[in-house]
Chain A
């Protein structure tokens, strides 16, 4: 079945440093979604990308969808302690079932 891999698995950064997580699929995706899960919480939807090469921004967060629609990235500029959590990408397979990436856990040290 479809698999969505994310790297890195963990990332520890000093507050103010940048952070990037990458999402890769072996198949072409119809769209890609990004979620954030705070420690002890549930995943919360951040954004959806649909078009090839699409770039969207939410304040310090920049989301990108690859030209071939097989990969995506989330970049956070100047991390803050409030950015702590696990970031997941997700994509629908050919049955519309939502498959989540393996996640990247971000820790930010003040």
Chain B
């Protein structure tokens, strides 16, 4: 069965520090991979989308970057965090036009 692992669950980081969130998928190959951010009580903002290794589409200009070094691994990074980077980060995967499966999410607080 398909599973998606995302860690850590919570993170408190000082302004200006780096960030690395990792997401791995099991039970499927060549998935579409997504990073979303959700502000408290708000919708899902698509940050990055990937259809294959090394293929990353950035949806909004921002302080973040993403990489896909392996087929089932998706990493969200920042060199220097801003206060506005706080939020709930969700990794997801799906296959063409099929349902998406989400990780448990990472609640990031930048202080």
Residues of A within 8 A of B (CB): 30-31, 33, 35, 41-45, 48, 88, 90, 92, 96-103, 105
Question: What's the least CB distance linking B30 to chain A, in Å?
Answer: 12
Taken together as a complex, chains A and B put the C-alpha atoms of A90 and B92 apart, in Å, by 13
Q: Are A102 and B90 in contact (CB under 8 A)?
A: no
Q: Are A98 and B57 in contact (CB under 8 A)?
A: no
Residue of A nearest to B49 (CB): A97
Question: What's the least CB distance linking B55 to chain A, in Å?
Answer: 11
Question: What's the least CB distance linking A12 to chain B, in Å?
Answer: 14
Residue of A nearest to B91 (CB): A42
Chain A contact surface mostly: strand
Q: Are B99 and A103 in contact (CB under 8 A)?
A: no
Question: What's the least CB distance linking A10 to chain B, in Å?
Answer: 9
Mark B83-107 against chain A: 1 for CB-CB distance below 8 A, else 0: 0000000101010111111111100
Q: Are A98 and B43 in contact (CB under 8 A)?
A: no
Known: A42-B104, A42-B105, A97-B49. A88 touches B99 (CB 8 A): no
Which residues from chain A contact B104 at a C-beta distance below 8 Å?
A: 42
Residue of B nearest to A104 (CB): B43
Known: A43-B44, A43-B90, A98-B34. A92 touches B99 (CB 8 A): no
Known: A97-B49, A98-B94, A103-B44. A48 touches B99 (CB 8 A): yes
B64 within 8 A of A: no
Q: Are B43 and A44 in contact (CB under 8 A)?
A: no
Which residues from chain B contact A33 at a C-beta distance below 8 Å?
A: 99-100
Residue of B nearest to A101 (CB): B43
Taken together as a complex, chains A and B put the C-alpha atoms of A61 and B57 apart, in Å, by 35
Q: Are A88 and B102 in contact (CB under 8 A)?
A: no
B46 within 8 A of A: yes
B27 within 8 A of A: no
Residue of A nearest to B42 (CB): A103
Partner of B41, one of A43, A90, A97, A105: A105
Known: A42-B105, A88-B43. A96 touches B100 (CB 8 A): no
